[in-house]
Structure 1
Amino acid sequence: MEALAVRLSGLDPYVDGAIRIVGFYDTLMRRRVDLPALARASAGLAECVAGIRLHGTGRTIRVSPHGTEASPPQQPASTTAPITLDDEEIGTVWLERAGSPGPLDEVLLDRLAIAAAAAVERYGPARTTMADPALVELAISAGSDEAARARALRLLGFAPDLPVYVVAVRSRLPLDRLGGLICPARPVKAAPLADVGVILAATVDPARFPADVRAGIGAAGSPDRSWRQARTALRFTTPREPVVRHTDLGALALLAEVPRDAARDNADVAAIGRIADNADDMEALDAYCATGSLRRAADLLHLHHSSVARRVEQIARTLDIELTGPTGLTRARLALTVWRLHND
């Protein structure tokens, strides 16, 4: 193969240049250089600014041909290539060449992307966000023994002394992107499991969930218990409260244990079912139950309080519950919650 490469390089200057680039990056990889060193070497080789960005952490490295940090603003990329690891795109590399791309820029970036993936795998941050679903299930299953669970967590990249939160999510966003958003700088793994996405993270920032994501967050501790808590919390999510921590539910979490038949036979829950097809009634009842005040519910709904008062009065007649009293309001809140737990 080497003899063939030498013969080809003698016939075609492009091939000669490509082979030299491949050898250049092979040497860098054998020396186990890190991302900043790769960027410096690439910028020097390309004689223009070279950049590396990791999606999971947002880390960006831009280096000038002189080996120093490139000054802002970032120029439009002349050529780009994805960094992939375990079939997941984890970042991007690019060149900022003035004018047209060079004839060997694509080859250079292809090798840079391969070298960057190897550096990420070797030095971190966490290799890839997506994990083997079987390994994640082993880590969170109640049927796993502690030795198997500890091994699964170790293989997933979680040290024994690291806290592990389990998050149950329903989202149109790819799980790897979501994991990177809520836990940008610490270990995080994700996998689809049945009809829900599972994220294991060393920390979780609820404020970083996008608006259209439903998520239940379990407490740190044993992953199997955190998983049960996360699934329960996910059941309590609503459009008004799309992200729920299990620790914030308190005694309300007990409602998730009410059997379906018992819920269906309860008069208050059955009454909620009678208005469930009327979206306006359900929205008004939800706002009133959430605030306990007609005026605050009206503000929430962007309606005049007299309109909300008439609607709540009509709902009260349908439910046969006196909603203006504390007992009736509590009954309505509980009934609405239980109905949602079994119908959402």
Structure 2
Amino acid sequence: MEALAQRLSQLDSHVEGAIRVVAFYDTLMRRRVDLPALARASAGLAECVAGVRLHGTGRVIRMAPDGKEATTPPSPPSSTAPITLDDEEIGTVWLERPGRPSPLDEVLLDRLAIAAAGVVERYGPARTTMADPALVELAISANIDEAARARALRLLGFAADLPIRVVAVHSRLPLDQVGALVCPARPVKAAPLADAGVILATTLDPAGIPAGVRAGVGGAESPDRSWQQARTALRFTTARRPIVHHGDLGALALLAEIPADAARGNADVIAIARLAGTPEDLETLDAYCATGSLRQAADLLHLHHSSIARRLEQIGRSLGIDLTEPTGLTRARIALTAWRLLDD
């Protein structure tokens, strides 16, 4: 390879040199080299620093002519070329040649860009859990065409024929740890967005979600629809119910669509907001709404059922709701849920 580079540097014919450059990269592609090897060979051939950058992952590779990673501060590129895959620009290649570009630099970069696109298509992204948030956001966006979504998913490492499920999480644990637990088998990708962490996976084990993490799980539909469902389900999570599947919400999911002003103006929700000033009463009502049973609520709170009965009687008077009646219990459950959704 070095001998070929030396011979190319001695060529006087631009056409013959261009043919040699094409043959040089054809050889590299037949050897199925990776991106660092491509950049290393290109730097040796060009006798200056060569660089490769992938937009999706933010990965940057700079190699010096001696075959080692370039340690000098980046210089303004003397020549650049886009890396394109399926008509989408996925990255850039460049040379940092001091002085004027060489007559063969354009051909060299063109072939380097083609070879880099082939490497990305062949090997895909690194098998890591954390992904570029911009790429993840593109994959779950409702405002892009399906071709762009398919490209984003492919760059994330997902096969086109596999369904994607999305999980929205609130977690103090690193997202890569949560992702590895809910999907021990690859592929799984995670990224933080503005309001929640996002996990994308083809298979999912919600039982692997660790304690202290709240998670909303979307269905195995299109990624954008699954993301919307996951975000809605996340709003319904509580300390007592930290994991919610959107499919389990049923008609309760409609509560998330009620305008906040309408919910705040509802008499039952206003009463729950007043009750929230007494955490003990709120916890008692929550336990009773979760179980629908005095004895089960007492077990949850480690109290005698008679104590729970007295509390609920007082809470019912405060709310203006008969909690012993099925209709009253339903009203309390809906009002408590609607009040919680106001905080999300």
Q: 2:219 maps to what in 1?
A: 219
Note closer, same or farther for the CA distance 1:126–1:278 as it changes in structure 2 (3 Å cut): farther
**Structure 2 contact 124–157 (Cα < 8 Å) conserved:** no
SS at match of 1:190: strand
Q: 1:193 maps to what in 2?
A: 193
Would you say 1:297 and 2:297 are equivalent positions?
Answer: yes
> What pairs up with 1:58-73 in 2 under 5 angstroms?
none
Structure 1 CA distance, aligned partners of 2:247 and 2:126? 27
Note closer, same or farther for the CA distance 1:262–1:234 as it changes in structure 2 (3 Å cut): same
Percent sequence identity is 77
Q: 1:206 maps to what in 2?
A: 206
Q: For each residue in 1:271-314, what CA deviation from the matched residue of structure 2 results, as whole angstroms up to 9, or x when unmatched?
A: 00001122111110011011111111101111111111111111
**Structure 1 contact 217–229 (Cα < 8 Å) conserved:** yes
Q: 1:140 maps to what in 2?
A: 140
Note closer, same or farther for the CA distance 1:123–1:139 as it changes in structure 2 (3 Å cut): closer
SS at match of 1:343: coil
Note closer, same or farther for the CA distance 1:227–1:31 as it changes in structure 2 (3 Å cut): closer
Note closer, same or farther for the CA distance 1:200–1:329 as it changes in structure 2 (3 Å cut): same
Q: 1:327 maps to what in 2?
A: 327
Letter in 2 for 1:223: P
Q: CA deviation at 1:179?
A: 0.4
Note closer, same or farther for the CA distance 1:256–1:221 as it changes in structure 2 (3 Å cut): same
Note closer, same or farther for the CA distance 1:139–1:87 as it changes in structure 2 (3 Å cut): closer
Structure 1 CA distance, aligned partners of 2:289 and 2:124? 47
Q: For each residue in 1:61-112, what CA deviation from the matched residue of structure 2 results, as whole angstroms up to 9, or x when unmatched?
A: xxxxxxxxxxxxxxxxxxxxxxxxx899xxxxxxxxxxxxxxxxxxxxxxxx
Structure 2 CA distance, aligned partners of 1:263 and 1:337? 10
Q: 1:248 maps to what in 2?
A: 248
SS at match of 1:211: coil
SS at match of 2:237: coil
Structure 2 CA distance, aligned partners of 1:125 and 1:241? 35
**Structure 2 contact 124–154 (Cα < 8 Å) conserved:** no
Letter in 2 for 1:319: L
Letter in 1 for 2:148: A
**Structure 2 contact 168–231 (Cα < 8 Å) conserved:** yes
Alignment: residue pair count: 229
Q: 1:309 maps to what in 2?
A: 309
Q: 2:53 maps to what in 1?
A: none
Q: For each residue in 1:300-336, what CA deviation from the matched residue of structure 2 results, as whole angstroms up to 9, or x when unmatched?
A: 1111111111111111011000000000000000000
Structure 2 CA distance, aligned partners of 1:222 and 1:245? 16
Letter in 1 for 2:295: R
Letter in 1 for 2:309: A
Q: Which has the larger radius of gyration?
A: 2
Structure 2 CA distance, aligned partners of 1:333 and 1:248? 16
**Structure 1 contact 125–187 (Cα < 8 Å) conserved:** no
Structure 2 CA distance, aligned partners of 1:198 and 1:283? 30
Structure 1 CA distance, aligned partners of 2:232 and 2:316? 29
Q: 2:285 maps to what in 1?
A: 285
Letter in 1 for 2:297: A
**Structure 1 contact 126–187 (Cα < 8 Å) conserved:** no
Q: For each residue in 1:210-257, what CA deviation from the matched residue of structure 2 results, as whole angstroms up to 9, or x when unmatched?
A: 110010010012000000000000000000000100011111100100
* Structure 1: gaps of 5 or more residues: 1-29, 33-85, 89-121
Structure 1 CA distance, aligned partners of 2:58 and 2:343? 37
Q: 1:274 maps to what in 2?
A: 274
Structure 2 CA distance, aligned partners of 1:138 and 1:249? 27
Note closer, same or farther for the CA distance 1:181–1:126 as it changes in structure 2 (3 Å cut): farther
Structure 2 CA distance, aligned partners of 1:285 and 1:339? 13
Q: CA deviation at 1:162?
A: 1.1
> What pairs up with 1:5-16 in 2 under 5 angstroms?
none
Over 3 Å off, 4+ runs:
122-126
**Structure 1 contact 125–185 (Cα < 8 Å) conserved:** no
Note closer, same or farther for the CA distance 1:318–1:305 as it changes in structure 2 (3 Å cut): same
Note closer, same or farther for the CA distance 1:126–1:162 as it changes in structure 2 (3 Å cut): farther
